[in-house]
Amino acid sequence: MDFKPAHPETVSAQALGWIDERTRAITPPIHVSSTYLRDADNQYRSGRVYARADNPAFDQAEAVLCALEEGAQALLFASGMAAATAVFQALAPGDHVLAPRVMYWSLRNWLTTFATGWGLQVELIDMHDPAAVQAAVRPGHTKLVWIETPANPLWTVTDIAATASIAHAAGALLAVDSTVATPVLTRPLALGADLVMHAATKYLNGHSDLVAGALVTRADNEHWQRVRKVRAQLGGTLGSFEAWLLLRGMRTLHLRVRAACASAQRIAEHFSRHPHVAEVLYPGLPGFAGHGVARSQMAGGFGGMLSVRVKSGPDGGEAAAIATAAHVGLWKRATSLGGTESLIEHRASVEGAGTPAPPDLLRLSVGIEHVDDLIDDMEQALRRAYA
């Protein structure tokens, strides 16, 4: 682009202003080739060899993500889990890593089973408490600190800058799962993180029609080169069509995230005063434990995710929560988050044994519908659940 935009909204809306020099198309084609021609003298001057390692279909989406996260390089993956696990698989057996007790459950599960079996020393801690991080890091031995903020499903907030200082002083990298915050609200690399991870399945794509993951690094270092190899060799590589859809989804990222944040704030405030609700967990509520840190590292909103703990009904809190979810009409009873449509789920049922989600908790992903419709639907569901 000749004109360098000052605002990230412009970067995403125009996908960095890409134009196809040959056809003058303003959206890229979908490259589907699995292999690339070798030069007659046996070289690969194009830099492309085989699509498990690399694919021109990724270039534009990776460049947009890099610009939004202010990073050096980005990599797309076949899922958020493929991206996250690549960060750990680029370490060596015996390395010590710290991860939060409250985090995306499937990654926690992988860390405590597969990764531990493979030789990583995984320690789960109260990551939102800098004193706990300080006490747990082992200088020279801890190679990675993984945080998620706000973190599923309690929306626990972790101070990125404070955790980065502790990790770096111990010689460890800091990686942030920023799926819920998105680059619209938080830029972890600018706060000192080394890596940002996104389940691009969620807000980055935003339409619940693909599964994808992404990593962005602050620097092209040895660990990043190993991450790149993990993708190329293990093959957690995104498909061409999904990469193209993701780029299209990211064009409206700012509009969608801002709309979801505004509605989530209103829903959180509304239901925190509701007679059938015991507690609303949302970083945008002034009484929420992580609100102060969230204010300092989230700009323009506190995210589209919140959880509602319902009051106990005649059959207990869990039954009341499940009954409320049973009676919604507009909200969709489904897992996942970050789409245009609002979702509701009884989180303990999804996570199973060992979940930090109390049995009375409903996790809400707020979409971009009219907020009054969302509030009215929840109101009638609660009325019917407690009738």
By CB under 6 A, the count of residues binding ligand PLP is 17
Residue from 54, 159, 177, 377 carrying the catalytic annotation: 177
Q: Is 201 an interacting residue with respect to ligand PLP (CB under 6 A)?
A: yes
Of the candidates 28, 80, 304, 356, which one interacts with ligand PLP according to CB under 6 A? 80
Q: In this complex, which beta carbon is closest to ligand PLP, that of residue 179 or of residue 208?
A: 179
Task: Look up 52 and say whether it is catalytic.
Answer: yes
Residue from 104, 159, 203, 360 carrying the catalytic annotation: 104
Give the contact letters, 208-227, x = binds to ligand PLP (CB under 6 A), - = no. Answer: ---x-x--------------
Q: Is 179 an interacting residue with respect to ligand PLP (CB under 6 A)?
A: yes
Cβ pair 324, 317 in contact under 8 A: no
Round to whole Å and give the CA distance between 234 and 218.
23
Q: Considering only residues 225-264, where is the footprint of ligand PLP by CB under 6 A? A: none
Query: In b/e form, how buried is each residue of 73-106, taking b as 16+ CB within 10 angstroms?
Result: bbbbbbbbbbbbbbbbbbbeeebbbbbbbbbbbe
Task: Look up 203 and say whether it is catalytic.
Answer: no
Q: In this complex, which beta carbon is closest to ligand PLP, that of residue 272 or of residue 342?
A: 342
| Minimum separation from the CB atom of position 335 to ligand PLP (A) | 7
Measured CA distances, 298 to 272, 289, 291, 302 (Å): 21, 15, 10, 6
Which tokens is 252 given?
């409206």
Based on its alpha-carbon atoms, the radius of gyration of the chain, rounded to whole angstroms, reads: 21
| Minimum separation from the CB atom of position 78 to ligand PLP (A) | 8
Of the candidates 79, 89, 163, 265, which one interacts with ligand PLP according to CB under 6 A? 79
Task: Look up 311 and say whether it is catalytic.
Answer: no
| Residue pointed to by tokens 């076949």 | 78
Q: In this complex, which beta carbon is closest to ligand PLP, that of residue 16 or of residue 308?
A: 308
Round to whole Å and give the CA distance between 280 and 307.
6
Judged by CB under 6 A, which stretch of 7-15, 73-81, 93-101, 267-275 contacts ligand PLP? 73-81
Q: Considering only residues 144-173, where is the footprint of ligand PLP by CB under 6 A? A: 148, 152
Task: Look up 143 and say whether it is catalytic.
Answer: no
Provide the residue count of the chain. 387
Q: In this complex, which beta carbon is closest to ligand PLP, that of residue 151 or of residue 385?
A: 151
What does DSSP assign to residue 126? -
- For ligand PLP, the nearest residue by Cβ is 80
Round to whole Å and give the CA distance between 377 and 382.
9
Round to whole Å and give the CA distance between 37 and 44.
8
Q: Is 104 an interacting residue with respect to ligand PLP (CB under 6 A)?
A: yes
Round to whole Å and give the CA distance between 385 and 34.
53
Handedness of CA 178, 170, 113, 308 (dihedral sign): negative
Which residues are tagged catalytic? 52, 104, 177, 202
- Summarize as ranges the residues that interact with ligand PLP (CB under 6 A): 79-81, 84, 104, 107, 148, 152, 177, 179-180, 199, 201, 211, 213, 336-337
